[in-house]
Amino acid sequence: MKEWAVAMKLDDLIGSLVTKRNQPPPAAQPDGGFTLSIDGQYEIRCLPMGSGRAVLATILSDLPDNPRRREELLTWLMRLNLAYLKRSRSVLSVDNQTGQLFLHYNVSLAEITQSGFETALRDFLNDIDFWRECREARASPVPSPVMVFP
């Protein structure tokens, strides 16, 4: 019964959010979750979890196919993730089956308000931007210095 109440609460929160943004409501998926498309830049999965919680999740990027580059990138990202945990509730994870990097954000639905849910979603979107920038910065090769001879 509690999981149904959590799913209904998530349904209500998302319904209010999309109404406020003048968007059509997303269809509930078989797992009770929803996919929100925000500003054409973000695809956010909202999934009810047990014990009055929900998770927001998104795919950040595909990981490099080259094992050495993948390991270097993941080592760097996970170190950064540990430092970033001090100021964020988002967590990086890897799906080894798909080779994709995910970002997750846990939300307690027990006593959350609509405003609280929107704040959590905004924080998650900011975290997505942070991790996208980090990923892009790491993926971009550092230009070598140009030597000019007279």
Cβ–Cβ < 8 Å for 74, 68: no
Q: What pLDDT is attached to residue 60?
A: 93
For residue 104, the 8-state DSSP code is: E
pLDDT in tens, 83-130: 888 888 899 999 989 999 999 999 998 888 899 999 999 999 999 999
- Looking at residue 8, its amino acid is M
Q: What pLDDT is attached to residue 30?
A: 86
Q: What pLDDT is attached to residue 4?
A: 46
Question: What pTM does this model have?
Answer: 0.81
